[in-house]
Amino acid sequence: MNAWLQNIWEEVGRPLFLRPRRVQFAALCTRVQDGQDQVLLITSRDTKRWIIPKGWPIDGLSGAETALQEAWEEAGVRADAVHDEPIGQFTYDKILKDGSAQPVLTNVYRISVRALADDFPEADQRERSWFSPAEAATLVQEPELQDLLRKL
């Protein structure tokens, strides 16, 4: 390979193919209503598509604790229980403000919801609603998250 091609590969091609993944933690918030499992979905702030609460690691908190914090901030979740081990993961490309895509690996923690607060940090920025797992799977865009919801 000549020097010019080698330089293009090292400076452009290789970083595109070997981009490191960032990690987020997500909350799969569930409840039982009339004997049926339900999943809480929220809307994203910008595109208003249906998602589950998620966010970047928080210093001093475990993945499960971070997921619980995000569930509070984004959806007003008050939990009965948080499972310490992730129940699965999904990947997606987060579109950054500069228009570039950042690949993200998201670990998902199940949270049993006791109640939803009316007043929470992002209450005026998002909608939230309960769905059956099968219906939730049709509303989210990420294929791996769809599969995770169908397995509930």
Per-residue pLDDT of the chain (152 residues; tens, 9 = 90+): 577 666 555 555 555 555 557 899 999 999 999 999 999 999 999 889 999 999 999 999 999 999 999 999 999 999 988 889 999 999 998 888 898 888 999 999 999 999 999 999 999 999 999 999 999 999 999 999 999 999 99
Note the pLDDT of residue 4.
Answer: 65
Instruction: Give the integer Cα–Cα distance in Å for 79 and 77.
Output: 6
pLDDT for residue 2: 74
Burial class (CB in 10 A: 0-12, 13-18, 19+), 133: middle
pLDDT at 68: 97
* pTM score: 0.84
Q: So what's the pLDDT on residue 94? A: 86
